[in-house]
Structure 1
Amino acid sequence: MRSDPATILHDLFGFEAFRGVQERVVTRVMDGLGTLAIMPTGAGKSLCYQLPAVALPGCCVVISPLIALMHDQLRSARALGIRAASLTSVDADWRETQDRLIAGELDLLYVAPERASSDAFRALLERSRICLFAIDEAHCVSEWGHDFRPDYRLLRPLLDAFPLVPRLALTATADAHTRADILTQLGLPNEGLIVSGFDRPNIRYAVKPRDGMGRQLAEILATNPGPGIIYVQTRALAEKLAESLGGKGRPVLPYHAGLDPAVRAGNQAAFLASEDMVMVATVAFGMGIDKPDVRFVAHAGLPKSIEGYYQESGRAGRDGDPAVATLLWGPEDFVRARQRIGEVEAARQAGERTRIAALGALVETGGCRRAVLLRHFGESPPDQCGNCDNCLAPPACVDATQTAQKLLSAVYRTGQSYGLGHIEAVLTGKSDDRIVARGHDALSVFGIVAGDETALVKPVARALMVRDALDTNAHGGLALGPAARQFLRGEETVSLVLPPARTRRGKRSNAETNPVGDPLFDALRALRRDLAKEAGVPPYVIFHDSTLRDMAAQRPRSDRDLGQIAGIGTRKREVYGRAFLDVIANFSS
């Protein structure tokens, strides 16, 4: 059995060196020390337990929240030559898996927290040799986390029953409070916390008010080739958008918990295997997606939290290539989010209000979007990143405090029961039958907005709804919110960000990511597609696009040359190397 991490890294995974904090994490695990690793999506978290699982005698038990995620990682591990299996409710070979575990014939065993916390599973482990517990998506253990799973809170007795087995917790999203809770709940030492940078520099962030959402999403699809995900808030919208966007020549499928299980599984399998499909999904399409070549993620509504947005948008560009994350929001998103606060237990309501405020800061900022995200996770980023909408095209900012006061006054004086169209008509002095019949043309606020200020009314209303100064009543009319008094008194100001004027669509933003049109690259991709279909796995399990790019550029002639390309370990070279070398040789000749 191989035991040297550097040798395993090269021979098994095909890499010359560790990335980021991987080596620190692996070293602690190999030394038998408990560790919590906070690493951004795409930073190679799975390698941190897969490598020790091969290096150490015994089996690594991986506790993961979703069957889809387990099976995706299972395929990738087996493609590397790692002896891996899962014990889930859909696995028919569970007896064989248990026998292999007891016989010491497994390196990795994936299980859900519900099974891991059972007495029967503990008894099974007592008959086996275990080298490591890896708790994936560890933020699920914390009530402060954005994706709390109660079953994660039941893992501690299992871990404590094997005091000599190290435990490794991994997550991409955890603020300071959540980190402390994970350490406590899983019995990890404070010195075991390793935090990698949260920055994903290859992702370009953009945030835009919704303004013809169908058109906006169609533009995103047109300018971003490659696989993509559009997150929506309802099942009905997922199906509606999938149908409307799918009529434009690009394969688009829906995904939500209400679909027939066979249809849902089929749609996910098609997405994983595709090189250009778009999935329109609710958050049910979540942690189970480990597809590295997603080129864009779009949110058609406000996510639940900054942590949720970071994780969902982070499903783009996991392979390190350029990707785009676009958030389309509306003020009604914030109204609905505040209404939902009353549905959670009192102890969590303060935390929910904090999450909404953090999202408000992200959508309203005229500064760097990435800086807002990174500061939320306790980092001190530079003021500009050069790869978000505000850094690439700095918006103008105007003081709209007086306009905000006029708008709030008009809402109050008209009785807090009319929509924005009516309020805007009153403010700009547009006298119609409805306004005259209600005497609103005689109010002091009638016609007090004119000229350039007219264009500020709608964006000011959005800003006031984000800040809880404007609300809506049961009939959709505008009403004063809890924070309105501070604005009316001048205790709060409104600095309004004016986005640049919309320009005509330019060239595809990711057109240079892959050399599509290069005959050799296209031929390598076609071969990968055929091999993946034959093996019953997604194409990226064979090789990532970046590996194919390197092949096309370097044109290796031998097995030895192939071994110098990142991402090609011994197992993959043995299984797939000759086929790719033959394609390259045909083009070289």
Structure 2
Amino acid sequence: MSEPKFQKQLLPTLKKFFGYDSFRGQQQLIIETVLSKNDCMVIMPTGGGKSICFQLPALLFDGVTLVISPLIALMKDQVDGLIANGVKAAYFNSSQTIEEQQHIIDKVADAELKLLYVAPESLPGLENILKETYISCIAIDEAHCISSWGHDFRPSYQQLGFLKKQLPHTPIIALTATADKATRQDILEQIGIPHADSFISSFDRKNIALEIRPADKRSQQIIRFIKKRPHEAGIIYCLSRKSTEQLAETLQNNGISCSAYHAGLSFDERSKVQEDYLFDKVQVICATVAFGMGIDKSNVRWIIHYNMPKNLEGYYQEIGRAGRDGLKAHALLFHSYSDVIQLRKFAEGASNEDVQIAKLDRMKQFTEASSCRRKILLSYFGELLTENCDNCDVCKNPPKFIDGTVIAQKALSTIARVKEDEAIGSIIDILRGARNANILEKQLDKIKTYGIGTDIAWRDWQQYIIQLINQGMCEIAFHEKNNLKLTELSKKVLFNNEKVWLTHPVTIQENVPEKVTKKKKETTANSLYERLRKLRYEISLEENIPAYLIFNDATLKEIERVRPVSEEEFLTINGVGQRKLEVYGDIFISEILDFMGSKIKKPRKTDTHLKTYELYKSGLTIDDIAVKRKLKSTTVYSHIAKLYGDGKDINIYDFITKSEVDAVRKAKGELEAPTALKPYYEYFEAQMDYFKIRLALSVVDKDDE
């Protein structure tokens, strides 16, 4: 558990900086573990809230939290988001000048930062501050990159083991969205924290609908798919650079706002494409897998795989980039045998070729499955679902099943009798009574179940066992020569006569007709949500930050539903913290009131500003009013600004000087009258508080009337 001094600060800190009233899943337990200075590993799906697990403790620790991150784009995105929330954060990498890097180092030494993001390659540049005097915590993001068993192995990550040796008393938190059993263990050993507490959250992203289609006329299918979703951002993953460019051109020719992204583009070109996408200037990106890890864009509504991914880890991570805000999202994968052949060629000659091929086979089996796809995906990561998901193409169009209990018992019994030490091919050979060299050399013909499945063809046995794997009744141990292993469900089948339902093996047809779906009712251009979305977009251009860093789609949806018309009500919205209330509250509330207009049929509860006015007129100070009303003093100041603007009897110069008003008037002219407060805040280089800017603007605006 975290130290008692932190306990009462957890929820207030969460609300103030991140805008949430409660923690999700295991977040609080993880945060308490970190604050207790214990090492831990966090396996949590994309969009599950991993970042808060180290960002919140960083705010409570005295020193800086060092965050190891693989991509410059990811660092900038995270840091921009933190700064937007009022957190002191920075990044340190090769894109900066020596002077800029030294300035960051000085900030760490002066305890002016809470979080510092750095790439593994840039760690030597921080040598002078890699001391427990300055560093309170180390977070290793995308930790699967350290393991050769991982799907995105990066040699630069393998040096990170020195951190624990150099800072033995500093807690390390390793985080990733995708890691199978072998990868998890390897991560802990490589980092040097073998006894770390492990927190494995559910991999189930229920909001993402899973769909797989044969690769027949892909481009036409994709065009129809996107045109049904005219305002939704998405990513299309392709296998080659050429495919990204050709598909992007096809989509552009069909009136779809789209750009290509791949490693062949220059740094400036890639940055431009990424920025246009983040700022909602481009709806669709056609990309190789080089795109995405650095994207924390919360309003991606769909992912399409133009080609089949090389493994389930990559597939899971890529589809996880959709629906990060928890709203409905869609993952569509096109599969073809030509993709499998191409991916096999890519794997040839790799140091872990056998592992890559086995994982590719597993990916292929997933695309050809006739059982709930979510069950398959989750069982791959060791999570067993007992019910079908009802949100994948198989569940929505279920095949006919047969009672396969006896078939399953024969296969699982054979796995048990060979002591879980054989791969799928050998298991089938035993069941079929084969007499090849492998069987005879290992004396597998002596196994009791030898030959009990001769009535079933080899290929049919293969599909049955794949179905058992897909349903979590056995699993492939990729790090143990792809041997089949039993699971908890295996025991129920073998000893409790649990029913197993299988489908008859079928030959996969490539020409399945596209399912016709009902066209969704389009959001009208004049709905409150669209007006809020447009306002958010305008502010994002003005402040030069991505729109979703202001408020994500889920927050906008809640604002639309709740329609808050006071600061207290606005603060109850998930995703609205104190900082965002101060910066954006007025302008969004004004938009809501303008939209509602005559639709407000009866007065709401007594206007909160008038309550403040009554107390002000009674002679209470701002601090007294804040205590009496249980509000932040900054909120009370915003009331004073509104009251003054509404013509109430307020002595505004009790709270602000004439020179400050003149400075804001000058800034307004030079900034061309921005609607948001942040441009003013940056204009004054953070030397004038938001509440004073708001008070001064109330005077300037009134004088201009």
Given the two structures, how large is their TM-score scaled by the length of structure 1? 0.80
Aligned to 2:506: 495
* SS of corresponding position for 1:132: strand
Which residue of the other structure, out of 2, 6, 10, is the alignment partner of 1:5? 10
Q: 1:239 to 1:139 in 2, by over 3 A?
A: same
Write the letter of the residue equivalent to 2:173. L
Displacement of 1:272 after TM fit?
0.7
Displacement of 1:313 after TM fit?
1.1
Q: Distance in 2 between matches of 1:518 and 1:384?
A: 39
Conserved in 2, the CA contact under 8 Å of 1:122 and 1:158? no
Q: 1:24 to 1:391 in 2, by over 3 A?
A: same
Is 1:274 the equivalent of 2:280?
Answer: yes
Task: Out of 86-95 and 63-72, give the one that drifted further.
Answer: 86-95
The one-character-per-residue Cα deviations of 1:136-179 (angstroms, maximum 9, x if unpaired) are 00000101000001111101112321111100000000000000
Aligned to 2:450: none
Unaligned runs of 5+ in 2: 403-459, 467-503, 598-705
Is 1:528 the equivalent of 2:539?
Answer: no
Alignment of 1:286-301 (within 5 A): 286-301=292-307
Q: Distance in 2 between matches of 1:587 and 1:350?
A: 61
Is 1:563 the equivalent of 2:574?
Answer: no
Q: Distance in 1 between matches of 2:282 and 2:116?
A: 32
Aligned to 2:418: none
Aligned to 2:163: 158
Q: 1:499 to 1:260 in 2, by over 3 A?
A: closer
Alignment of 1:204-223 (within 5 A): 204-223=209-228
Q: Distance in 2 between matches of 1:132 and 1:115?
A: 18
Conserved in 1, the CA contact under 8 Å of 2:42 and 2:174? yes
Q: Distance in 1 between matches of 2:570 and 2:65?
A: 30
Conserved in 2, the CA contact under 8 Å of 1:133 and 1:159? no
Conserved in 2, the CA contact under 8 Å of 1:559 and 1:577? yes
Is 1:228 the equivalent of 2:234?
Answer: yes
Is 1:103 the equivalent of 2:110?
Answer: yes
Displacement of 1:586 after TM fit?
1.5
Conserved in 2, the CA contact under 8 Å of 1:156 and 1:187? yes
* SS of corresponding position for 1:394: coil
Conserved in 1, the CA contact under 8 Å of 2:307 and 2:339? yes
Conserved in 1, the CA contact under 8 Å of 2:258 and 2:282? no
Alignment of 1:115-194 (within 5 A): 115-116=122-123, 118=124, 120-126=125-131, 129-190=134-195, 192-194=197-199
Aligned to 1:320: 326
Q: Distance in 2 between matches of 1:538 and 1:516?
A: 23
* SS of corresponding position for 2:173: strand
Alignment of 1:543-562 (within 5 A): 543-562=551-570
Conserved in 1, the CA contact under 8 Å of 2:210 and 2:331? yes
Write the letter of the residue equivalent to 2:377. L
Alignment of 1:508-523 (within 5 A): 508=519, 515-523=523-531
Higher-RCO chain (CA-CA 8 Å, sequence separation at least 6):
1
Q: Which has the larger radius of gyration?
A: 2
Task: Out of 5-14 and 70-79, give the one that drifted further.
Answer: 5-14
* SS of corresponding position for 1:90: coil
Q: Distance in 2 between matches of 1:499 and 1:234?
A: 22
Conserved in 2, the CA contact under 8 Å of 1:132 and 1:165? yes
Displacement of 1:576 after TM fit?
0.8
Write the letter of the residue equivalent to 1:362. F
Q: Distance in 2 between matches of 1:187 and 1:343?
A: 30
Write the letter of the residue equivalent to 1:160. K
Displacement of 1:535 after TM fit?
0.9
Q: Distance in 1 between matches of 2:267 and 2:281?
A: 23
The one-character-per-residue Cα deviations of 1:46-65 (angstroms, maximum 9, x if unpaired) are 11111001011110000000
Displacement of 1:508 after TM fit?
4.2
Displacement of 1:220 after TM fit?
2.1
Q: Distance in 1 between matches of 2:567 and 2:194?
A: 45
Q: 1:24 to 1:192 in 2, by over 3 A?
A: same
Alignment of 1:72-471 (within 5 A): 72-92=77-97, 93-116=100-123, 118=124, 120-126=125-131, 129-190=134-195, 192-225=197-230, 226-274=232-280, 277-345=283-351, 348-395=352-399
Q: Distance in 1 between matches of 2:293 and 2:143?
A: 12
Unaligned runs of 5+ in 1: 399-459, 467-492
Displacement of 1:496 after TM fit?
3.1
Aligned to 2:546: 538
Displacement of 1:494 after TM fit?
4.6
Displacement of 1:114 after TM fit?
1.1
CA root-mean-square deviation: 2.3
* SS of corresponding position for 2:65: strand
Displacement of 1:221 after TM fit?
1.2
Aligned to 1:410: none
Conserved in 2, the CA contact under 8 Å of 1:396 and 1:499? no
Q: Distance in 2 between matches of 1:73 and 1:191?
A: 26
The one-character-per-residue Cα deviations of 1:324-382 (angstroms, maximum 9, x if unpaired) are 1111111112122223332202xx12211220121122011111111110010011113
The one-character-per-residue Cα deviations of 1:375-422 (angstroms, maximum 9, x if unpaired) are 100111135110000101124689xxxxxxxxxxxxxxxxxxxxxxxx
Q: Distance in 2 between matches of 1:588 and 1:69?
A: 39
Q: How many residues align?
A: 492
Displacement of 1:218 after TM fit?
1.2
Q: Distance in 2 between matches of 1:397 and 1:245?
A: 40
Conserved in 1, the CA contact under 8 Å of 2:129 and 2:135? no
Is 1:37 the equivalent of 2:37?
Answer: no
Q: Distance in 2 between matches of 1:303 and 1:110?
A: 29
Displacement of 1:217 after TM fit?
1.5
Conserved in 2, the CA contact under 8 Å of 1:222 and 1:508? no
Q: Distance in 2 between matches of 1:125 and 1:187?
A: 17
Conserved in 2, the CA contact under 8 Å of 1:227 and 1:275? no
Given the two structures, how large is their TM-score scaled by the length of structure 2? 0.67
Q: Distance in 2 between matches of 1:352 and 1:238?
A: 24
Q: Distance in 2 between matches of 1:252 and 1:63?
A: 32
Q: Distance in 1 between matches of 2:353 and 2:58?
A: 41
Q: Distance in 1 between matches of 2:69 and 2:53?
A: 15
The one-character-per-residue Cα deviations of 1:261-287 (angstroms, maximum 9, x if unpaired) are 222111110111117600000011031
Write the letter of the residue equivalent to 2:286. V
Conserved in 2, the CA contact under 8 Å of 1:156 and 1:185? yes
Q: Distance in 2 between matches of 1:588 and 1:339?
A: 60
Conserved in 2, the CA contact under 8 Å of 1:58 and 1:131? yes
* SS of corresponding position for 2:67: strand
Q: Distance in 2 between matches of 1:520 and 1:322?
A: 19
Q: Distance in 2 between matches of 1:518 and 1:377?
A: 44
Write the letter of the residue equivalent to 1:63. I
Conserved in 2, the CA contact under 8 Å of 1:230 and 1:281? yes
Displacement of 1:516 after TM fit?
4.9
